[in-house]
Structure 1
Amino acid sequence: MSLSSHVEELKKKHRALSDRVEEVQRAPGVSNLEIAELKKQKLRIKEEIERLSMDA
């Protein structure tokens, strides 16, 4: 997989996590722990995208 396609896949995952976070935040009874974990995953992906973009 080329670097650019890997970055694009990470961006897709980041968007999907963003959508999931919004969905979960609107749902009643969802724990803050679950929301926090999704946000951590999103941040890790964002950091990886930035790191790979700087290397390119």
Structure 2
Amino acid sequence: MTRLSRIESLKSRHFRIDQKIMSEGGRPRPDERVLMCLKLQKLRIKEEIERLSD
């Protein structure tokens, strides 16, 4: 996998996780543990995208 395709794959995962966060956050009683886990995954992906973009 080339660096560019890896970045695109990570961006896609980042977007899907963001959608899951929005979905969970929109529930009447969102599970805070799930939200925290998703946000951590999103942050790690963002950091990897930034690292690969340099």
With the length of structure 2 as denominator, give the TM-score of the two structures.
0.93
Q: Which amino acid aligns with 1:45?
A: I
After TM superposition, the runs of 4+ consecutive aligned structure 1 residues lying more than 2 A away are: none
Aligned-residue Cα RMSD (Å) equals 0.7
Q: Distance in 2 between matches of 1:34 and 1:28?
A: 14
Matches within 5 A, 1:15-54: 15-54=15-54
Aligned residues: 54
Percent of aligned positions that are identical: 41
With the length of structure 1 as denominator, give the TM-score of the two structures.
0.90
Segments of 5+ residues of structure 1 without an aligned counterpart are: none
CA shift, 1:28, in A, is 2.2
CA shift, 1:4, in A, is 0.1
